[in-house]
Amino acid sequence: MRYVVDHDLHIHSNISFCSFGGGQTPERILKYAGENGFRKVCLTNHFWDELVKGPNGWYEDQDFSHISAAKPLPQSDNVEFLFGCETELRHDLVLGISKERFDEFDFVIIPTTHLHFQDFTVTAKDNISFKARADAWVRRLDAVLSMDIPFHKTGIPHLTTGLISPKREQYLEVVKEIPENEMYRLFKQAAKVGVGIELNSSALNFSVSEEKLALLPYTIAKECGCKFYCGSDAHEEEHFTYAKSRLEKAVDLLGLTENDKFII
């Protein structure tokens, strides 16, 4: 059976510091879920756990009490609204959430590809070339997959995104530099530990000629037996307009079935 896009597990509300306009309330998110026939959505605001030392200035105030202000989340008869977070991985591979804090969340996403925080997630040596960025992509995913964390409720968001390249429109130049044998090694490990791999509608925006390369990590992940979940990464209401159609397109291009679905 074809993979059903019936959930969105990566959504920000207006309390994330990169959400603008104020319209992105939990109620608005629940309405979006209902309109798209989703059964499950998850709030994943940016988060650095105050139990872990050394956030940067941007994360400092996005601590547990800040993101918990969204609770209790509104529910409806048809939609389950989960409480999660999008944490961070520092350049020295320290995770922005403590082990005990996982218990507070239904779902935790760990971005390995936020390479836009100079001197926080990357250092100068990661910027010397596309290859150096590709090395960072491998090193950071490798680090997360080696951690002792509850992978059954952990996702890896937007493995392909403009954020991996210093020039966002050139992110495929970085993807090109990631050795395929490394992708196979990492995704076999991802399948083994049972972490979810995200299809991200904000990041999956490519032309027909870019399709093969843009989807290459996911094609390999599928081949390795990884499970996939969907995320819009919506920060503002307008991001909802194209979310489901792009996810449906990715599902078709990858030929995903219900057997490929990550279930928390």
Q: What does the binding site for Zn ion look like in residue numbers (CB under 5 A)?
A: 86, 111, 233
Minimum distance of Zn ion from residue 120's CB (angstroms): 14
Q: Which is nearer to Zn ion, 94 or 257 (CB)?
A: 94
Residues 87, 97: contact at Cβ < 8 Å? yes
For the CB of residue 115, give the shortest distance to Zn ion in the complex, in Å.
11
Show the tokens assigned to 16: 């994330």
Q: Which is nearer to Zn ion, 86 or 237 (CB)?
A: 86
Q: Give yes or no for a cis peptide into 74 (omega within 30° of 0).
A: no
Joined tokens for residue 122: 């990357």
Shortest reach from residue 164's CB to Zn ion, in Å: 11
Closest CB 2 distance from Zn ion, rounded Å: 26
Q: How near is the Cβ of 25 to Zn ion at its closest, in Å? A: 17
- Is 235 or 244 the residue whose CB approaches Zn ion more closely? 235
Please say which residue, 96 or 111, places its beta carbon nearer to Zn ion.
Answer: 111
**Contacts of residue 110, Cβ cutoff 8 Å, sequence gap at least 6:** 86, 87, 89, 95, 97, 144, 154, 155, 156, 157
d(CA 13, CA 165): 26
How many residues can be counted in the chain?
264
Which CA distances in Å does 86 have to 4, 79, 107? 24, 21, 9
The structure tokens 């397109």 sit at 249
Q: Which is nearer to Zn ion, 36 or 200 (CB)?
A: 200
